[in-house]
Each structure stands twice: as C-alpha cells, then as structure tokens.
Amino acid sequence: MSEREIQRIKCPKCGAEHDFEIWPRVNTDLDPILKDKVKSGELFRTVCPSCGQPIDVVYPCLYHEMENRIMIYYAPGEKAMQDALAAFDEGLGATEKERGLDAAKKGYRNRVVGSLYDLQEKIAIFEAGLDDRIVEICKVMIGSELQESRPDAVFDDLLFYQDKGGEGRLALMREGNAFASISLPGDIYKEVGERFKALIDRYGDAKVIDMQWVLTSVNRAGNE
C-alpha cells in the first residue's frame, strides 16, 4: 500500500508556507502513476506558490514494485540509512509468509540508496533488465579508463540511463548535473558479468550496491 502525508513546506526564499503531499511508501503496482512521479522527481519537488521558487523536498521513501520483486529504500542522511538497513534486517522486503527466510533467495532485490539520483538510477537499471552489481563494476572500470584518457573531464559520479533507442549509457555527473555521457556496450556488460561472477556470488547480497561496494568487495577478495 502507498502511504501519503501532508508536509508544511517553508520557502527558503520568501518564507511563505504551503502544504505538500509526501509519499513515505510507494507501491507501484497499486499506484502506477507514482512510478512516473518518482522517475521524474515530481514526488520530491515543489514550487513556492508565492514566489515561484523551486524547492527540493528531501524525505525517506520506501519504493516497492511488488510484481518485479524490487524494494528500494531511499534513505537520505546517515540516520535514515541506518534505519533503512535495520528495517531490512528485521524482515522488510519479505512477505509475512517469507519472513525468516532469506529474501534474496526468494528473488527479492532489496536496496538502500542515499540520494534521489541513486533511486532513479536503480529503477532505470532494473527496468533495463540489468543487474545493478554488474553495472556498478562497469562504472568503476569505465570511470577509471575515462580518468586516464580524458583527464580534463572532471566528474564526481556516473549514472546509468537508457537512451531513446534502449541503449545503456552512463551520464557523467558533476555536482548533480549531467554534462556528457558515454556508451555502456552490451558486450562489455556481459564480459564483466562473467569475469566477476564469483565476486558477485560471494559479496552480492549487500543492500547498498554502489561504487564503494565494488571497491570494498574487490579488496576483500584480494585479501582472502
């Protein structure tokens, strides 16, 4: 079930207040329109009715695609992140019947992300039918190649998306804005998936799958 609340928003520019609907729980099977609003960012953005100032509204949101067995906790901030990880440890993501069983074995993909960009990226990766763990490894590899071949292209993140033709691409991000993109070829994805299969089998049940997960897992594998 989706869950909504009304939050009073104060404009940082003019100080006027207005009510905004926030969604701490989103169930895309019951409320398909919410999926589009997460993807567009509309669920986390409002405009001051007095002065027109765009305002980002940051709040934790549990995003659930029942049919696709995907549960992503958008947990902005350290405290929200700890709460989200604890909730999964206590059996969130598994149904009542499955509780006590390993949710991963039932095919549920449980993730915790710290930013709206990361939430939107996870949705795009799963929608493309890809494994986010393989995509993250590709990002680390392609990212370090880019840093060598194009030292002028300073980026702080790479974000996966599908272009209009359905091809996977990585957007080069700087301070939250995409300024260029590079292809993520299907054959590279496949090759990386095969090469790192053992690593993914061993460390891939983590809830936070990001570049840090890749680096930590590679390190651990190297030390064993």
List residues binding Zn ion (CB under 5 A): 11, 13-14, 16, 48, 50-51, 53
Q: Between 14 and 180, name the residue whose CB sits nearer to Zn ion.
A: 14
Residue nearer to Zn ion on the CB measure, 39 or 45: 45
Which residue's CB is nearer to Zn ion, number 12 or number 77? Answer: 12
- Please report how close the Cβ of residue 49 comes to Zn ion at its closest, in angstroms: 8
Q: In the sheet where 177-183 sits, what is the strand order? A: 157-162, 168-174, 177-183
**Token pair of 69 as six digits:** 């067995």
- Min dist CB 14 to Zn ion, Å, is 3
Buried b (16+ CB within 10 A) or exposed e, 198-214: ebbeebbeebbbbeebb
Q: What is the distance between the alpha carbons of residues 66 and 117, in angstroms, rounded to a whole number?
A: 21
CA-based end-to-end distance of the chain = 44
Residue from 66, 79, 80 nearest 27 by CA? 66
Closest separation in Å from C-beta 60 to Zn ion? 25
Residue number, 8 or 164, with CB nearest to Zn ion: 8
Query: At its nearest, how many Å lie between Zn ion and the CB of residue 4?
Result: 23
